[in-house]
Amino acid sequence: MHKYKEEQIYLDYAATTPCDDRVLLEMFDAFKNNFGNPNSLHKYGENAMTSLSIARSHVCNLLNVNNHEIIFTSGATESINIAISRSIQKLSKSGKNHLITFKTEHKATIDSAKSLERSGMVVDILGVTNEGLINFDELEKKITSSTAMISVCYVNNETGVLQDAERLVALCRKYSVLLHLDATQALGKIPIDLSCLDVDMLSASGHKIYGPKGIGILFCRKKHQSLIRMPLGNLDVEYGIRSGTPPVPLCVGLGEATKIAKKEMSSDLARITDLRNKFISGITSQIPEIYINGCQESNYPGIINMSFRGCEGEALMMEANKIAIASGSACTSNKLTISHVLDAMGVKHDIAQSSLRISIGKYTNEQDIDIAIDNLVNATKKLRSISPVWDMIQEGVDLDEFFKDSIDHHNH
């Protein structure tokens, strides 16, 4: 049993995951015995380059792509920045200076979009439906002859909502627009076959799939790599897209994590789905006014965004202290900050501010879920018993009107 289970039940797998013991063993061997620089011509360098190539091939096998299409980076944020910023800047020289993305994207994508906008590029950050899904009619209307790229989070990191990637590909091919997928919460958890799914670029991180922190990937089809290559980039180092000595042990760890994910993904997904259903039914059968935020027909089951109406999210998180989870709201001075994702989905303010993200992983078991249910049910009952907001709900007060001046909206 992992030590963290002795302290708290860990249900924050969407934030990060514990490193798989099998990954640690491979990394330890690489740190100890494979210290060479893969760019060196001697035997130590050759051994390091071999390990790097094997690690890359494991990632390629998971995604069903060619070895030269995977670039190792420091993580998904860097991969996103490279994919979006470099592509738009390069394409803008030929008049393609328009990026389309969405209000529910991860901060890394929003930040890249805002940076491009400040530099003079045209950026549209579109809304989504109340279920967190892309409105394809609205999206298609925004595409113009200057649109260079559409960037989409495949699985949302707060709600688990899964976008229709096949439809996105079809739309992008229709208008000759690049498609970038942020697959940080999808890689190794749901099947992604890029030999069939014709996305142009894809980003992900190692630490979301039981691998190490500080390592990620950028998939880029060979025909587009000139868009993201650095000026004077060394083609022998990550195809001229990223410089520096590759961190071989971290790459080995990510490679091993993807190898394990390919083998165990199907069984993990089925078990996590069962645990999700158990958790949701266990909570909703005991407490009224519980809301599941996001589309329930299209999602990754390991991420549950649940609102406990009448309880402030952070207070509930602290009261339910037997479990490690994430809150979708935060208090800053006299303002209540709610999740930009839930805000973009049009979730009512009092429901959004009572949200928690519960994320299930491969080390979660039924006993963990039982403890989480019991802990959250008791915490909710306790907080509601002393909550004036819950009293107002019972009295039928319009809480949207009540909260409107105390909500700090994320201006993404």
Supply the residues annotated as catalytic.
Answer: 331
Using DSSP, state whether 117 is helix, strand or coil. Answer: helix
Which pair of tokens denotes residue 264? Answer: 């165990």
HSE-CB for 5 with a 13 A CA cutoff: 11
Q: Under a CB-based contact definition with an 8 Å cutoff, are residues 6 and 12 in contact?
A: no
Q: Under a CB-based contact definition with an 8 Å cutoff, are residues 249 and 237 in contact?
A: no
What are the C-alpha distances in Å from 26 to residues 30, 209, 279? 6, 15, 34
Cα dihedral 401, 135, 194, 99, rounded to 10, equals -90
Report the phi/psi class of residue 346: left, alpha or beta, with left for phi > 0 and alpha for psi in -120 to 50. left
Q: Under a CB-based contact definition with an 8 Å cutoff, are residues 347 and 295 in contact?
A: no
**CA–CA separation, 82 vs 31, rounded Å?**
28
